[in-house]
Structure 1
Amino acid sequence: MSSVQSSNNGGQYQYDPYNAARNPRRVPMACQFCRARKLKCDGLRPQCNNCNRRGYPCNYVPVGAELNAQGGR
């Protein structure tokens, strides 16, 4: 019969595929085309895959400009 030995990993981070699947990477800002059509934007620059496939220009609005356009709520 063999025994399983536990080893100390020295405080290093271990990759956990369960947590990686639960917390997908979020894109900080979608392009205008993806936002208008509520598509998942991959955030690639200068052109995301959705715009590239369809042949549309890919435009990203700067973060500060979007907040100023909404006005005071």
Structure 2
Amino acid sequence: MQTLAGSDDDKPSYLRFAGAGLELAGAMFVPATIGYLIDSHFMWQTPWGFLIGGILGFSAGMYNFIRLANKLNQ
């Protein structure tokens, strides 16, 4: 994929993995935050929205991270 700074192949591998780590953190943060807001809105005493959002975000983030790691190792 071509960006303004050049292609992804021009970047050192540690920068690509650092970006992937930030993407993983973001993929976990957004659904967990949405789940927390749902819990707060309905005034639920148990954090099920937060937990479900965190698990779904972690699963999606790990899928993307593993896919990127496989791509970089080929």
TM band (smaller chain): under 0.3
TM-score by length of 1: 0.22
- The structure carrying a bigger helix percent of its residues is 2
TM-score by length of 2: 0.21
Higher relative contact order (CA 8 A, sep 6+): 2
Greater Rg, structure 1 or structure 2?
1
